[in-house]
């Protein structure tokens, strides 16, 4: 029997979506689902929703819930990580403090000031999670959804190299699906190749029955001037390859957009977008919790295709069904012109033997240059935590393209100190800048 542990199961809507996709596979109907969260109320809601989801799927898994992480992990074959350290309150800090210094962000969970400090408060929990897994389920696969993805995977590779960990994100899938719809081609008939870093990867090839689809995309953009008013289309026109993450994300990994009022207007960039999304997620949870308490049936999940990667990984490794997905893993000979050991996003084949990342070769030089700028921030953030050197926190933010475009060296120093004070005990003692 397969055992799948959910860490951060209190992210109830995402837990429910993953369970729906997992239990869509008949081979997993009798799996053990072990739920863990540090919030007892959220854990109880997640357990109730898990049982409801199983019933809707016609499955009879064994569902257990525990406030003890190690107890939930004991004997697991797969561990799905989706923690959010500090929750909505910490997310607001990540937006409000930089904004007070004049730094604009849209999502704030991957790079920039928000990404760096989200990583710093997440790393200690990753340490504990890795220690628990190596103690009670050393052969389990860690399937990570928690952002900042590249920082988290690069940190785990440095501190827990024996752990079998991969990062999962559906941005490439949805990019291909949306682009294919735009040019009128069924996405399931498309062949594509993508690589780079998570949230800043690139569609290197995109074909239908051997026909390059980029000319059709060019025609669609030419026919609809509104399409050009998006950051990722602007990046595509500048660099020659389409980026795999949304315009909201993409705008804050480069120095060219968020500091300019005119560019924000021209490209319709939604500043502070994730602050509103986070508040909506909290309200959704509260509504679901109240509904369960009153005995109401949870709202339907939706009838979209089962697209999340974690269920596909579990099913392939259990049954031997071969699939190719995108994963974030250390760069051990995968992308030739990105740093060795850096967390990169590449295609990988799944089968009963595991997860097998593909060798990509060299990216086009302009794409690799932009990815290296991204990975500089990742490397310095990880170095800060591994060495316990708070100077590297400042160095990471100094090297962040969007922050460096907005602030002076002195302002960045003061911003890092203000972020440290605002996050307080969520940060490791050694990295609390004074």
- The closest alpha carbon to 230, from 204, 202, 264, belongs to 264
pLDDT beyond 60 at 360? yes
**How high is the pLDDT of residue 303?**
56
Catalytically annotated residue among 29, 170, 187, 193: 170
Confidence of residue 235 (pLDDT cuts 50, 70, 90): very high
**How high is the pLDDT of residue 304?**
59
Q: Give the side-chain half-sphere CA count within 13 A for 294.
A: 9
Helix H or strand E segment including 225: none
Confidence of residue 305 (pLDDT cuts 50, 70, 90): low
pLDDT beyond 70 at 49? yes
pLDDT beyond 80 at 310? yes
Rounded Cα distance, 10 and 260, in Å: 38
Q: Indicate if 170 belongs to the active site.
A: yes
Let me know if residue 412 belongs to a domain. Answer: yes
Helix H or strand E segment including 146: none
**How high is the pLDDT of residue 37?**
95
* CA distances to 35, 46, 283, 289, 314 from 292, in Å: 18, 11, 14, 5, 29
Domain encompassing residue 389: 381-427
Range of lowest pLDDT (175-189, 276-290, 365-379):
276-290
Rounded Cα distance, 207 and 192, in Å: 6
Let me know if residue 242 belongs to a domain. Answer: no
Let me know if residue 102 belongs to a domain. Answer: no
- Average pLDDT on 239-246 reads 97
Exposure letters 222-260 (e unless 16+ CB within 10 A, then b)? eeeeeeeebbbbbbbeeeebbbbbbbbbbbbbbbbbbbe
Let me know if residue 386 belongs to a domain. Answer: yes
Let me know if residue 191 belongs to a domain. Answer: no
**Cβ count near 355 (within 10 Å):** 19
138 Cβ contact list (under 8 Å, min separation 6): 162
pTM (two decimals): 0.96
Domains in the chain: how many in total? Answer: 1
* CA distances to 7, 63, 243 from 77, in Å: 13, 15, 34
Let me know if residue 174 belongs to a domain. Answer: no
pLDDT beyond 90 at 298? no
Please classify residue 263 by burial: count the beta carbons closer than 10 Å to its beta carbon, then call 0-12 exposed, 13-18 middle and 19+ buried. middle
CA 269 to chain CA centroid, Å, is 20
pLDDT beyond 90 at 11? no
Rounded Cα distance, 419 and 416, in Å: 5
- Average pLDDT on 323-352 reads 98
**How high is the pLDDT of residue 306?**
59
Let me know if residue 414 belongs to a domain. Answer: yes
Name the more confident of 432 and 427: 427
Let me know if residue 419 belongs to a domain. Answer: yes
- Average pLDDT on 324-344 reads 98
Please state, rounded to an integer, the average pLDDT across all residues of the chain.
Answer: 95
């Amino acid at each position: 029997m397969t055992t799948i542990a959910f860490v951060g199961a209190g992210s109830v809507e995402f837990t429910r979506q993953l369970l729906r996709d997992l239990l869509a596979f008949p081979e997993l109907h009798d799996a053990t689902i072990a739920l863990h969260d540090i919030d007892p109320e959220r854990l109880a809601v997640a357990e109730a929703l898990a049982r409801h989801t199983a019933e809707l799927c016609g499955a009879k898994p064994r569902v257990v819930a525990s406030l003890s992480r190690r107890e939930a992990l004991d004997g697991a074959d797969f561990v799905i990580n989706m923690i959010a350290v500090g929750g909505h309150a910490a997310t607001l800090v990540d937006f409000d403090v930089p904004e007070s210094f004049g730094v604009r962000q849209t999502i704030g969970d991957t790079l920039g000031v928000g990404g760096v400090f989200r990583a710093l408060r997440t790393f200690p929990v990753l340490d504990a999670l890795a220690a628990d897994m190596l103690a009670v389920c050393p052969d389990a696969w860690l399937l990570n959804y928690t952002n900042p993805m590249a920082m988290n995977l690069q940190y785990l590779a440095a501190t827990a190299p024996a752990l079998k960990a991969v990062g999962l994100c559906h941005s490439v899938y949805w990019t291909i699906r949306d682009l294919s719809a735009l040019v009128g081609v069924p996405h399931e008939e498309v062949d594509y190749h993508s690589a780079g870093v998570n949230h800043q990867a690139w569609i290197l090839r995109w074909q239908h029955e051997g026909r390059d689809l980029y000319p059709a995309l060019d025609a669609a953009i030419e026919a609809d001037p509104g399409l050009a008013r998006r950051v990722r289309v602007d990046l595509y026109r500048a660099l020659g390859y389409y980026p795999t993450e949304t315009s909201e994300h993409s705008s804050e990994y480069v120095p060219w957009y968020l500091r300019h009022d005119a560019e924000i207007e021209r490209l319709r960039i939604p500043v502070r977008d994730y602050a509103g999304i986070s508040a909506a997620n909290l309200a959704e949870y509260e509504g679901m919790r109240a509904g369960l308490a009153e005995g109401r049936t949870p709202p339907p999940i939706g009838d979209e295709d089962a697209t999340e990667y974690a269920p596909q990984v579990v099913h392939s490794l259990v049954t031997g069904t071969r699939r190719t997905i995108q994963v974030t893993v250390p760069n051990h000979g995968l992308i030739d012109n990105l740093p060795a050991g850096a967390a990169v996003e590449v295609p990988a084949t799944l089968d009963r033997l595991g997860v097998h990342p593909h060798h990509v070769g060299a990216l086009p030089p302009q794409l690799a240059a932009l990815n290296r700028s991204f990975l500089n921030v990742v490397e310095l953030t990880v170095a800060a935590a591994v060495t316990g050197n708070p100077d590297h926190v400042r160095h990471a933010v100094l090297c962040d393209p969007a922050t460096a475009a907005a602030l002076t060296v002195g302002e960045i120093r003061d911003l890092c100190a203000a972020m440290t004070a605002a996050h307080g005990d969520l940060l490791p003692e050694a990295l609390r800048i004074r």
